[in-house]
Amino acid sequence: MHARFVDISGQEPEPIRPWAPVKISRARIEAEIERLASLPRPANGRRGTLIVHPDAVGLGPGLAPGVDVTIDVLKPGERTTPLRRNTGQVEIGISGRGVVHVVGRSTRMERWDVCSIPSMKGHYFENDGDELWVRLSYSNAPLLAKLGVLYSEPLTDEQMAAGPNVLPSADRRPERYIRETAPDIELNDSGARLRGYEYLVDIEVVENNPLHWAWNEVREHLSWEEGDGKRTIMALYNPATERRNGATHSFFVTASSMPPGVAAQPLRRGHRHSSVAINYHFLGSGKSVVEGHVVDWSAGDLLLSAPGWSEHDHYHGPDGFGVFTVQDHPLHIGMESLIWQEKMSGPILALGSEAGQTGYVGPRTTGA
């Protein structure tokens, strides 16, 4: 097998060609839930449907490049078999209730609760209620599949009970070759350094626990009446993601609300960013304008609302809205690829690498 040489002399980079927005209606989602619930229980207990964008081809099919969303259904009394994957996951409960078991922690999820499942943490789902438990599950599996490194491993109940094999930072091994004793040499005044191999394989652990954002707690911090002084958008933050401000290291999740009766904005130019956004609308109605395409939406609809680098803006209806947005913003911060243009006539900023947007308290919304 031989590698090819491809002459790119004088070639200009290809322009970005965003995917089209795609709406998955409440009716389609409910029909698929009904179909999944009618199936015999699979061996691993997982009844799920992957939602695939028409442009997704080859390895890693998903709703957006690098992001998948599945509809997962558990019937009363059922549980899935334990497994672990090297993905980061976000779970949003859209119907019913159940328990998410992650090594060392069990979390009860109600409707519209959100939880995170960290990479390589054993987990399973259990429906101990009396109705269908339905979740939307988001992960970075398509990205890992494209890279050829998507890993999944079934676990036994004994392995789940044993817990993770992680030593606390205070219990450092008495071995000679560890991070603390490795060479760390400053070369010059530019900041360039040399470090020993130990730094590459004995990496400082940042504890990343499964987190739970209960809707009945989150909603108290959102605006539901015009003039109540509360915010219309809040980020669900996981401290392990640090400056990336995510729910996982790949995704941020925001909860947004707009009270009924608030006057809608007039049509205007949108904004754009390299991160992709997927909206689940659980209350109200409205429309989105994405690269000139007008998409009407209402409660229960899922929408690829902002394909990467597409100009977009969102408008609420007279009944307001409630929306969860999942965006691969933290991933782009880690790669220094998060470019953002808040005004189409304004600058394109590399957020996280230079001074960012100030004065905004929400998308296209400045503070009073």
Closest CA to 213 of 72, 119, 92: 92
- The closest alpha carbon to 220, from 208, 235, 212, 230, belongs to 230
Q: In the prediction, which pLDDT does 363 show?
A: 76
Asked if residues 105 and 210 have their Cβ atoms less than 8 Å apart, the reply is: yes
Distance of CA 220 to the CA centre of its chain: 22
State the burial class of residue 57 (Cβ atoms within 10 Å of its Cβ: 0-12, 13-18, 19+). exposed
Spell out the domains of the chain, with CATH numbers in brackets. 22-161+206-354 (2.60.120.10)
Residue 264 CB neighbours (<10 A): 12
CA separation for the pair 135, 127 (Å, rounded): 11
Q: Are strands 98-102 and 193-195 parallel, antiparallel or unpaired?
A: unpaired
Give the integer Cα–Cα distance in Å for 266 and 17: 27
Indicate the pLDDT class of residue 368, thresholds 50, 70 and 90: low
User: Residue 364's pLDDT is what?
Assistant: 63
Higher pLDDT, 30 or 159: 30
Q: How far apart are CA 114 and CA 56, in angstroms?
A: 26
Q: What confidence tier does 167 reach under pLDDT thresholds 50, 70, 90?
A: very low
Q: Which tokens in the block code for residue 350?
A: 């590399």
Residue entry with tokens 């980061």: 88
pLDDT for 165: 57
**What is the rounded average pLDDT for all residues in the chain?**
94
The residue ranking higher by pLDDT, 110 or 171, is 110
Provide the residue type at 338 as one letter: L
- How confident is the model over 193-218, as pLDDT tens digits? 999 999 999 999 999 999 999 999 99
Average pLDDT over residues 134-141: 99
> Tens of pLDDT along 247-290?
999 999 999 999 999 998 899 999 999 999 999 999 999 999 99
Q: Average pLDDT for residues 217-235, to the nearest whole number?
A: 97
At residue 358, the pLDDT reads: 78
Q: Which one-letter amino acid corresponds to residue 69? A: V
State pTM to two decimals: 0.94
Phi, psi of 263 (to 5 degrees): -60, 135
Give pLDDT, residue 284: 98
- Residue 172 pLDDT > 60, yes or no? no
Q: Report the C-alpha gap between 135 and 129 in whole angstroms.
A: 14
Report the pLDDT value the prediction gives residue 264, as an integer from 0 to 100.
87
For 60-83, the DSSP string reads: S--SBTTBEEEEEEE-TT-BPPPE
Average pLDDT over residues 299-303: 99
The answer to whether residue 190 scores a pLDDT higher than 60 is yes
Determine the distance from the C-alpha atom of residue 302 to the mean position of all C-alpha atoms in its chain, rounded to a whole number. Answer: 14
